[in-house]
Amino acid sequence: MTRASGLTEIGVRDALSASVFSSAAPCRRALVLGGSSEARLLATRIAADPRLQGVISLAGRTSAPLAHDLPTRIGGFNGVEGLTRYLLDERISHVVDATHPFAARISANARAACAAACAPLLVLTRPPWVMAPGDRWIEVVDNAAAARALGDSPRRVFLAIGRQGVADFRCAPQHDYVLRVIEPPNAGELPPRCEVIFGRGPFALNDEIALMRDRGIETVVTKNSGGALAYAKIEAARALGLEVVMIARPASGDAATTHDIDAAMAFLAS
What residues make contact with ligand NAP under the rule CB under 6 A?
Answer: 33-36, 57-59, 61, 76-79, 82-83, 99-100, 102-106, 109, 162, 164, 223
Write the CB contacts of 7 (distance below 8 Å, at least 6 apart in sequence).
16, 60, 73, 74, 75, 76
Write the CB contacts of 181 (distance below 8 Å, at least 6 apart in sequence).
162, 163, 196, 197, 198
Cβ 47 to ligand NAP shortest distance, Å: 18
Closest to ligand NAP by CB, 142 or 174: 142
Closest to ligand NAP by CB, 162 or 218: 162
Closest to ligand NAP by CB, 125 or 218: 125
Do the beta carbons of residue 234 and residue 263 sit within 8 Å?
no
Cβ 63 to ligand NAP shortest distance, Å: 13
Cβ 101 to ligand NAP shortest distance, Å: 8
Q: Which of 196, 128, 184, 200 is nearest to 158 (CA)?
A: 196
Cβ 141 to ligand NAP shortest distance, Å: 15
Closest to ligand NAP by CB, 219 or 225: 225
CA pair distance 257, 264, nearest whole angstrom: 9
Closest to ligand NAP by CB, 103 or 218: 103
Cβ 222 to ligand NAP shortest distance, Å: 10
Cβ 241 to ligand NAP shortest distance, Å: 27
Closest to ligand NAP by CB, 57 or 93: 57
Distance from first CA to last CA of the chain, Å, rounded?
Answer: 38
